[in-house]
Structure formats: C-alpha cells, structure tokens
Structure 1
C-alpha cells in the first residue's frame, strides 16, 4: 500500500493546457475514481502517474518519493488497460507471470505467484489457455492478474470495463470491489461511468476541461455537489434545476416560484445556508433530486416538517419496474419525480406530491456554484 500525492500538476501541449493545476491526495488503501467526459484530462492524468506522459509542471509523489522523472518500470505501479493488452501467443499463466520473468525471478517463485493470483481471481482452470480462447470477462481477469502478481504500491485502471457487455460490467465491478476489500491496495481508476464511480470509489474526483470540480466521497458528491456541473453529471435522471427567488415568509427562508397565469408557490428551506440572507430577493436555482419528489402521503408528511406538499399536473409517466419516473409541471417548469409503481397516477391529470426540502441545494445562477 502507498500514499499518492498530486501537487499542482499541469500538462501542456504547445499553447494548449490540458491539465490546469490538479491537487489530489490519497491515503494508504484509498480507491480514487477519476470521473468525467471524454477529453476532460482524466486519462492524461493517469498516464502521468504511470510515467507514460511527462509532467509540464507540479509534482507527483508515491510515499513521499517524487516520481516525476522516474522511469515507469521503477515507479512500483501496475496498470490495467482498457484493451487488456495480453500477449496472444502466450498462455494465461505466462501472461500473468511474464513481468516476473523479465525481472529474473526463478521459475518456482513465478509459478507460486501465478497460482496465488489465479486462485484469488478464480481463473486456475484457465492457466493453460491462450487469450483467443477466453471471453471478455476472462481476459479482463487475466489483465488484472498480470497487475496483481507484481504486488505494486499503486494500481492504475484505465476504463477497464468499457469493452464488456452490460451484465458482465456489473459482475466485474463487483469483483473489483471485492478484490480491493481483500487487498486494501491504493487504486486510481479512470471511468466516464457514474455508476462505476459511485459504487467503487472511496473518493471521486470529478473533472471538467482539465480542472477538478469536486474531490469528495461518493455520497457527499451526490447529496452536496459543489456546482451544477457536478450535480448534473452524477445521478440518473439528473438533478432538477428549478429557477426561483430567495424569499422570506415570517421567519422562514425559502424559494419563491412564479408562473404566468398560475399561483405563486413558496418552498421553505429546511436548513438555509449560512450566507443565504444576502441572497434575499435575488434569483437562485433550487436543485432537487428526483427521488426527493414523491407521491404525497399525509401520514409521512405529518411527521416531517421538511416535506412540502405541492399539487402539479402530470405530463408523462415512465415505468421502470422498481419505480416510475414522472414528469410534472411545477409553476411552468418541467420537473422529474420518482414515485412507487403502486402510486397510481394518470397522465394529463393533477396529483399531489411532496418535496423533501431537507435534500435541497441552492445554486448561484451566474457562477453555478452551490450557495
């Protein structure tokens, strides 16, 4: 295991700056996921940790050792690629043990290490096969085994599941999680898949255009996103953004909504941000997750002051089995709710909903930062 520190790291190609000052710090055994769309710089950062890309500025340290100029083979890291990168003419056993062979380890030591890793990954029965005889999931396990056999300080994963079908991705995601729990090794994992990030990471670094937008545990990223970009990138369906005005009714602060030809609504905040007073009378954006808008239940609402009742027309119902995604109209703005399949509603009719304002976020409409 090892610590990993990335301090003000920059990457520039000519006049184009790809990474714009990245600061991240991992403790022993942490699982960091670099999350973001294509072109945000996450794979470039991973390649710089691996030594496959040079650093324009800043430094990277593993266990306090600066590795900026250290050759990739001397960094004590192991990388699992998206393409598996297996040697087609070698057996699974030799693919896994080849790095040890290159280091001059004895055959007995190599065989022992390969057997240990194969047992860990449950691929003992595949050791005599060639890569062409394996399924995608089996090839991915072999690629992981080749990394594990070296017992490195840091594991690097570059979108390792993107070539697998949907069900196999779920299975392999679980296997990677179990593997990390058993080994406790420091991991940096690149993906554009938010589900992978949420399920695997101890902390997520969400990137956009070479800048880390938020670096925090998955639940914090989900519940308290740093800005509207993070809020919209995480979660499906995405967070609702409802335009309104910060207003006061008596001693309560809340978001006032107006609609042409419809009644105004006041949605009281359960806990207003400390600096909310200075936003009084100004436009704000209320961020609320679809699952925080549910079918009105008077019994539940009576015991929870954070739940606010609203009546809204139902536009579209999308049953998904576990729940029903419901598009409603709230003061002229389309909002997405998530309701139970047993909550019978009819498209085109009005229905009562409740909004959990304890789960509300407020954003600055200009900077898009959370207030």
Structure 2
C-alpha cells in the first residue's frame, strides 16, 4: 500500500492547458475514481501518475517520494488498460508472469506468484490458453492478473470495463470491488461511468475541462454536490433544477417557485448563509427520489415533507421504479415513484417533496450556497 499526493499538477500542450492545477491526496489503501466526460483530462492525469506523460508543473509523490522524473518501470505502479494489451502469442500464464520473467525472477518463484494470482482471480483453468481463446471478461481478468502479480504500491485502471457488455461490466465491477477489499492496495481508476464511480470509490474526483470540481466520498458528492455541474453529472435521472426566489413566511425560509412565485416550499434546514439571499433568485436542486406520491401516514411524522399538487405529464416504468414527469408550479420536474403508486397521465395528483434533501445554488456562479 502507498500514499499518493498530487500537488498543483499542470499539463500544457503548447498554449493549450489541459490540466489546470490538480490537488489530490490519497491515504494508504484508498480507491480514487477520476470521473468526467471525454476530454476533461482524467486519462492525462492517470498517465502522468504512471510516468507515461511528462508534468508541465507541480509534483506527484508516491509514498512521499517525488516521482516527476522517475521512469515508469521504477515507480512501483501497475496499470490495467482499456484494451487489455495482452501478448497474443503467449499463454495466460506467461502473460501474467512476463514482467517477473523480464526482471529475472527465479522460475519457481514466478510460477508460485502466477498460481497465487490465478487463484485469486479464479482463472486457474485458463493458464494454458491464449488470449484469442478467451472471452472479454476473461481477458480483463488476465490483464488484472498481470498487474497484481507485481504486488505494486499503486494500481492504475484506465476505463478497464468500457469494452465489456452491460451484464459483464456489472460482474467485473463487483470483482474489482472484492479484490480491493481483499488486497487493500491504493487504486486510481478512470471512468466516465457514474455508476462505476459511485459503487467503487472511497472518494471521487469529478473533473471538468482540466479542473477538479469536487473531491469527496460518493454519498457526499451525491447529496451535497459542490455545484450544478456535479449535481447534474451524478445521478440518473439527473437532479431537478427549479428557479425561484428565496423568501420567508413567518420565521421559515423557503423557495417560492412558479410563474408568479406563488408556490412556497419551506426549507427544512436552510444553509447558514441563506439569509443573505432573501428576496434574491436562487436555484433549488431536488433529486427525483426526493419527490414521491403523497402518503399522509409518512408525511405526518416528518416535518421535512411538503405536500404539493402536480399535474402528471409522462410515466416511464422501469420495473423497480416509475420515472414520472410532473408539473410543479409551471416547472417540469422528474419524480421517482413506486410502481404500486398508480397515477394517470394527464391527471393531477398529490406528491410530497423531501425538503431535507434540498440543495440551493447561485444562479450566476452555479456554486452551492
């Protein structure tokens, strides 16, 4: 295991700045996911940690050792690529052990390490096969085995599951999670898939245009996003954003929404600085699962639940939930309701909003208030 520190790291290609001052610190055994759309700089950052890209400015430390000028083979890292990068003419066993062979490790030790890793990944029966005889999931396990056999300080994964079909991707995601729990090795994992990020990471760094927008545990990113970009990138369906005015009724602060700002939604726990926004426009952020069909028994025991009447526009059954598009005081928002809570398209029904899960954003900067 190892710590990893990334301090004010920048990358430029000519006049184009790809990474604009990245700061991340990982403790021993952490699982960091770099998440963002194509072109945000996440793979460039991973390659810089690996030593495959030079650093324009800043510093990368592995176990307190500055590695800016250290050759990739001397960084004690192992990388798993999207393309697997297996040698087609070698057996699985030789693919896994080739790096040990190149280092001159004794054959008996090498074979012991290969068997240990193959047992861990449950591919002992594949050791005599060649890559062409393997499925995509099996090839990915071999690629992981080749990294594991070296027992590195840091594992680097570059979108390792993107070439797999949906079911296999879920299965392999679970295997990677189990593997990390068993080994406890520090991991940096690049993906554009938010589900992978949420399920695997101990902390997520969400990137946009070479800047880290938020660096936090998955649940914090989901429930308390730093800005509207993070809020919209994480979650499917995405967070609802409703423009309104921060107002007061008696001693309660809330958001008035609607064409005439008539619908008052009281905030259950207003942020400390909310009082400075009184009378000003804000953006209310609500996750779809915080908007559900009204249940008087549940609402009676929870003061954070606010009853609202909404027109039902569209229903999208997904099996476990029904995604429901409703009209809230002139704004279309998405609710997530149970299939047993039957509502009819075109009807008006009572819903409840959990205002304890509300977020407020500055409409100009899009930062969380």
Q: What are the residue-to-residue correspondences of 1:173-212 with 2, within 5 Å?
A: 173-212=173-212
SS in 2 for 1:311: strand
Look up the match of 1:51.
51
State the alpha-carbon separation in 2 of the partners of residues 80 and 343 from structure 1.
Answer: 45
State the alpha-carbon separation in 2 of the partners of residues 106 and 306 from structure 1.
Answer: 66
Task: Give the Å deviation of 1:264.
Answer: 1.6
Aligned length: 369
Q: What are the residue-to-residue correspondences of 1:110-149 with 2, within 5 Å?
A: 110-149=110-149
Look up the match of 1:317.
315
Task: Give the Å deviation of 1:258.
Answer: 2.4
State the alpha-carbon separation in 2 of the partners of residues 344 and 195 from structure 1.
Answer: 28
Task: Give the Å deviation of 1:267.
Answer: 0.2
State the alpha-carbon separation in 2 of the partners of residues 2 and 206 from structure 1.
Answer: 22
Q: In the alignment, is the contact (CA less than 8 A) between 2:49 and 2:60 conserved in 1?
A: yes
Does the alignment pair 1:10 with 2:10? Answer: yes
SS in 1 for 2:86: coil
Structure 2 unaligned segments of length 5 or more: list them. Answer: none
CA RMSD between the two structures: 0.6
State the alpha-carbon separation in 1 of the partners of residues 258 and 346 from structure 2.
Answer: 21
Among 256, 277, 280, which residue is 1:279 paired with?
277
Look up the match of 2:337.
339
Q: Deviations over 1:163-203 (max 9, x none)?
A: 00000000000000000000000000000000000000000
Task: Give the Å deviation of 1:62.
Answer: 0.4
SS in 1 for 2:98: helix
Task: Give the Å deviation of 1:259.
Answer: 2.3
Look up the match of 2:305.
307
State the alpha-carbon separation in 2 of the partners of residues 214 and 33 from structure 1.
Answer: 12
Look up the match of 1:256.
256
Look up the match of 1:26.
26
Q: Deviations over 1:75-97 (max 9, x none)?
A: 00000000000000000000000
Q: What are the residue-to-residue correspondences of 1:56-71 with 2, within 5 Å?
A: 56-71=56-71
Does the alignment pair 1:81 with 2:89? Answer: no
Q: Deviations over 1:183-237 (max 9, x none)?
A: 0000000000000000000000000000000000000000000000000000000
TM-score, length-scaled by structure 1: 0.99
SS in 1 for 2:113: helix
Look up the match of 1:238.
238
Does the alignment pair 1:225 with 2:225? Answer: yes
SS in 2 for 1:219: helix
State the alpha-carbon separation in 2 of the partners of residues 75 and 259 from structure 1.
Answer: 59
Q: In the alignment, is the contact (CA less than 8 A) between 2:258 and 2:328 conserved in 1?
A: no
State the alpha-carbon separation in 2 of the partners of residues 323 and 10 from structure 1.
Answer: 43
Structure 1 unaligned segments of length 5 or more: list them. Answer: none
Task: Give the Å deviation of 1:368.
Answer: 0.1
Q: What are the residue-to-residue correspondences of 1:100-115 with 2, within 5 Å?
A: 100-115=100-115
Look up the match of 1:156.
156
TM-score, length-scaled by structure 2: 1.00
Q: Deviations over 1:270-289 (max 9, x none)?
A: 00000001100000000000
State the alpha-carbon separation in 2 of the partners of residues 366 and 151 from structure 1.
Answer: 48
State the alpha-carbon separation in 2 of the partners of residues 240 and 297 from structure 1.
Answer: 21
